[in-house]
Amino acid sequence: MLHNLFEEVENHYNEMIEIRRHLHQNPELSFQEQKTAQFIQEYYKKLGIPYQSNVGGNGVVAKLQGDKPGKTIALRADFDALPIEDEKDVPYRSRNRGVMHACAHDGHTATLLIVAKVFHTYREQLSGNILFIHQHAEEVAPGGAQPMIADGILEGVDYVYGTHLWTNTPYGVIQTAPGNFMAAADKFTIHIKGKGGHGGIPHQTKDPILIGSQLISSLQHISSRKIDPLATAVLSIGKFHAGNAYNVIPDSAVIEGTVRTFNPELQQCIIAEMEKIIKGTCHGYGADYSFDYQKGYRPVVNHSTHAELIIKSAEKVKEVEKAEMISPSMTGEDFAYYLEERPGAFFFTGAQKENQFVPHHHPLFDFDERAMKIAAKTLISTVINANQLSL
């Protein structure tokens, strides 16, 4: 049966590309994905697979019932885009100014729709049920996973799986990990409230740029000197804004950044250390401050048995050159919430274009579309193998 399912993926590969490129040309931002959701609904309507719309917001969930008894297995794909201008010179470039699929969610959606079509063709031989979760708003916390779960989509589900087309990884490689796989992703904002003045009379000011520079340097000492070297944590500054003129010291400055952790206790330790450093530095220079720390998605923690199942399933796909366990990634994903509710695993499908690596969330982002076939076949193989698990 697996061979026949794989052949069906090959037969529908051109359609998979067409779907992906259509979605790439018509991206929608998180929580605004009405047309994309409608496109997904129309696809399931044509297939004759029952679906629910407006799940937890703009989410769509379809359910395929096999003709034989078995487990209920959920597969998830996200479909929101990012506020980025598409700068690629390709025929399928985004038509929506300032909006772009720069994280492969268009590919995730195309992959899952074809997986649904393939399984529907062989539903008479299918054991159990498959739930196809099309999730909105992965890119912006609090995300779409939690409200969809709150709507009860995981009721009766035995296992849940998902993949991310990953351009950091070469084409032909599948990667996952038992346990910690992706980190908790938090955001912080620091407002420094100093006293501005003339650039030539700095002693009359409380320079927020000087304070901010000192603060950025000191915050880096948290990971190097305040936590166990064997612990895993990242603190990065992504934004430092102050002033509008070369010869004027401004009144205030804004610093924004992210903290990535796997351990809640370590997360709290970092927050406490940040508060002490910010307070001490700002008050030491006679300035005031505000500190806003927003906890984002929790860590993606794979269930070990299911991570191993992913590897074994991927090895059945001839295009997979390597299926490997890797060290955790410090990127974040709200797939975390599904794995808190049900056993399962998340994995990376290598999608790097040969000699054309561009990172996710970049204006030139693109991926090797052949990776969608590997993702589809690996998900299909996982569903078939998961039905044989006895836990």
Task: Write the CB contacts of 341 (distance below 8 Å, at least 6 apart in sequence).
Answer: 149, 154, 160
Query: Which of 42, 44, 79 has the alpha carbon at shortest distance from 64?
Result: 44
Q: Residue 336, SS3?
A: helix
| Averaged pLDDT for residues 220-227 | 92
Average pLDDT over all residues of the chain: 97
Specify the pLDDT at position 237.
Answer: 97
Alpha helices (H) in 254-341, listed in sequence order: 264-284, 304-314, 336-341
| Averaged pLDDT for residues 14-19 | 98
The DSSP secondary-structure symbol of 125 reads: G
Q: Which pair of structure tokens corresponds to residue 273? A: 């250390």
The DSSP secondary-structure symbol of 53 reads: E
Task: Write the CB contacts of 151 (distance below 8 Å, at least 6 apart in sequence).
Answer: 55, 56, 59
Looking at per-residue pLDDT, the higher value among 389 and 30 belongs to 30
Query: Which of 26, 48, 25, 21 has the alpha carbon at shortest distance from 37?
Result: 26
Does 390 score more than 90 pLDDT? no
pLDDT digits (tens, 9 = 90+) for 62-75: 999 998 999 999 99
| Averaged pLDDT for residues 54-61 | 98
Does 274 score more than 80 pLDDT? yes
Does 391 score more than 70 pLDDT? no
Phi, psi of 358, rounded to the nearest 5 degrees: -130, 130
Q: How confident is the model at residue 117 (pLDDT cuts 50, 70, 90)?
A: very high
Active site residues: 80, 138
Phi, psi of 33, rounded to the nearest 5 degrees: -90, 40
Does 389 score more than 90 pLDDT? no
* Calpha distance 186→200 (Å, rounded): 39
Q: Which of 27-31, 63-67, 226-230, 365-369 has the lowest mean pLDDT?
A: 226-230
Q: Are strands 252-261 and 233-241 parallel, antiparallel or unpaired?
A: antiparallel
Does 24 score more than 80 pLDDT? yes
Does 276 score more than 70 pLDDT? yes
Cβ atoms of 341 and 154 within 8 Å: the answer is: yes
Phi, psi of 139, rounded to the nearest 5 degrees: -75, -20
Specify the pLDDT at position 45.
Answer: 98
| Averaged pLDDT for residues 346-362 | 95
Query: Which of 139, 255, 242, 254 has the alpha carbon at shortest distance from 196?
Result: 242
pLDDT digits (tens, 9 = 90+) for 155-193: 999 999 999 999 999 999 999 999 999 999 999 999 999
Q: How confident is the model at residue 305 (pLDDT cuts 50, 70, 90)?
A: very high
Domains and CATH numbers, the chain: 2-181+299-386 (3.40.630.10), 184-297 (3.30.70.360)
Query: Which of 35, 38, 16, 19 has the alpha carbon at shortest distance from 27?
Result: 35
Q: What is the percent of the chain where pLDDT is above 90? A: 96
Task: Compute CA distances 74 → 149, 350, 377, whole Å.
Answer: 12, 22, 15
State the amino acid at position 158 in one-letter form. Answer: D
Q: DSSP secondary structure string, 179-243?
A: EEEE-EEEEEEEEEE-B-EETT-GGGSB-HHHHHHHHHHHHTHIIIIIS-TTS-EEEEEEEEE--
Q: Which pair of structure tokens corresponds to residue 210? A: 């000087």
Q: What is the pTM of this model?
A: 0.95
Q: How confident is the model at residue 356 (pLDDT cuts 50, 70, 90)?
A: confident
Burial of 132 (0-12, 13-18, 19+ CB in 10 A): buried
Q: Which pair of structure tokens corresponds to residue 40? A: 């997904």
Could you tell me which residues are annotated as the binding site for Mn(2+)?
Answer: 103, 105, 139, 164, 361
* Calpha distance 317→376 (Å, rounded): 10
Could you tell me which residues are annotated as the binding site?
Answer: 103, 105, 139, 164, 361
* Calpha distance 389→309 (Å, rounded): 9
Sign of the Cα pseudo-torsion (222, 227, 228, 233, in order):
negative
Specify the pLDDT at position 355.
Answer: 82
Q: How confident is the model at residue 129 (pLDDT cuts 50, 70, 90)?
A: very high
The beta strand positions in the chain, using DSSP E, are 51-55, 59-65, 68-78, 127-135, 159-170, 173-176, 179-182, 184-193, 197-198, 233-241, 248-249, 252-261, 288-297, 300-302, 322-325, 344-352
Q: How confident is the model at residue 195 (pLDDT cuts 50, 70, 90)?
A: very high
Does 388 score more than 90 pLDDT? no
Does 30 score more than 90 pLDDT? yes
Q: Residue 100, SS3?
A: strand
Give strand pairing partners of 236.
258
* Calpha distance 143→102 (Å, rounded): 17
